[in-house]
Structure 1
């Protein structure tokens, strides 16, 4: 009974964070490992993950550009997301990434339909970017840079990196880089949102989405490799398709 209770217990925060770190894009390359194009593709979910990340936004952009009609513009991405789930079920692939994508698209569509403003389709994304900037900045202020926490979990050295000036400097720079990524998205997208430029906002979001995320992953891997190159991870991360 006790063993069964231990197996079914709710994971602690540290355990949940460790699992998330190993599934994250950063976790797809071990600190010290040379990043490759294959590992980069794996980090963004492979070809399927790439398609699932881009196609819903592209569907909105194309339909809204030609029709300026809110309803089909937000329902088309929803239909595309449902197709992704069906395809994953038919091919017996992990379905949760597609379900998570569907939930995000559904929330965005519902908000836009409720307000009648096409630009509100992008409001959840703006909020996520703002929260990301806030979390990263707080981690920097309290001297626990978020990238350092993730790399610490991956290397099995949860605290040692803080005592090493070179490692701390690298993860601090890497964390600032991610602040820059989310900050750039906000700086470009927020004025378009406030101006009600839904079409331009859709275009910019595609440009600043997967391509910028992939580039930042590569920079982070190279930075971390320079400081943690002599260490090995405690466990190999499992690939996890995900949308930035």
Structure 2
């Protein structure tokens, strides 16, 4: 005689225990955190580490962020013609959009770049000052600094929302004071990178056209390369402590 099979319709309250092997559905809040990280463009490698290069947009994404400003600088340095230089920068940004269309890749990053370059070109053309091509970046940078600082003070640090997804921690790190502090520190590291940009570049901007070449150069060097370095350091600083295997502690630990 075969053993009676359990009725799958029985509720947990009837005494039937849930099979621990049954996968649990992620909480809605953890799902939101994962969605936020994905929309923020953060990616992970096959072995669970943060893919910093891909998160920065990959080689093509970095080129999209660098080339319009570089084209503007080179063109203006050679011709001293502001309008021509702005048109060249806009054309460079538009080329990347066309490339993405041909590749059938998402246009979000390229279109955002075109809009950003367009606003920057409008500002410079309106004021007649070449250095104002870089003015929008200061406000964007300051906005990120403010948002990240607020996230630390309200105990929802941005580094935790992003890295927690990568590490499959969801939002559990908020329940552990040590992990929360680590992610607050990681967020401050990214804030420091953004603040360093302003500290170095704003004085160059205030020098007017005399500081244009230095401003453009530091803008390139302190853009994607510095961002990648900052994210990588924040990732290392926020690593969780390795789990201790009780079996490896030896007999002395069990005494």
Give the equivalent residue in structure 2 for 1:8: none
Q: Label 1:209 to 1:151 Cα distance change in 2 as closer, same or farther (>3 A).
A: same
Where does the alignment leave 5 or more consecutive residues of structure 2 unmatched? 1-27, 244-255
How far does residue 120 in structure 1 lie from its aligned partner after superposition?
1.1
Q: CA offsets, 1:163-213, max 9 Å, x none?
A: 312211210110110110110001011111122122221111001001101
**Residue in structure 2 matched with residue 203 of structure 1 by the alignment:** 217
Indicate conservation of the 8 Å contact 1:33/1:229, yes or no. Answer: no
Bigger proportion of residues as helix: 1
Give the aligned length.
213
2:135 equivalent to 1:119: no
Higher CA-based Rg: 2
Distance 2:108 2:49 in 1: 29
Please tell me the root mean square deviation across aligned C-alpha atoms, in Å.
2.6
Q: Which structure's relative contact order is higher, taking Cα pairs within 8 Å and 6+ residues apart? A: 1
Q: Which residue of 2 aligns with 1:221?
A: 235
Superposed, which structure 2 residues align to 1:61-210 within 5 Å?
Answer: 61-154=73-166, 155=168, 157-158=170-171, 160-196=172-208, 197-210=211-224
TM-score normalised by L of structure 2: 0.74
Deviation beyond 6 Å, 4+ runs, structure 1? 12-17
The within-5 A match list for 1:36-75 is 39-75=51-87
Q: State whether residues 78 and 106 of structure 1, in contact with CA within 8 Å, keep that contact through their aligned partners in structure 2.
A: yes
Q: Secondary structure at the match of 2:48?
A: coil
Judging changes above 3 Å, is the alpha-carbon distance between structure 1 residues 34 and 88 closer, same or farther for their aligned structure 2 residues? closer
Deviation for aligned residue 1:228 = 7.4
Cα offset for 1:50?
2.2
Q: TM-score, normalised by structure 1?
A: 0.77
- What is the deviation of 1:113? 0.4
Contact 1:193 1:201 in 2 (8 A): yes
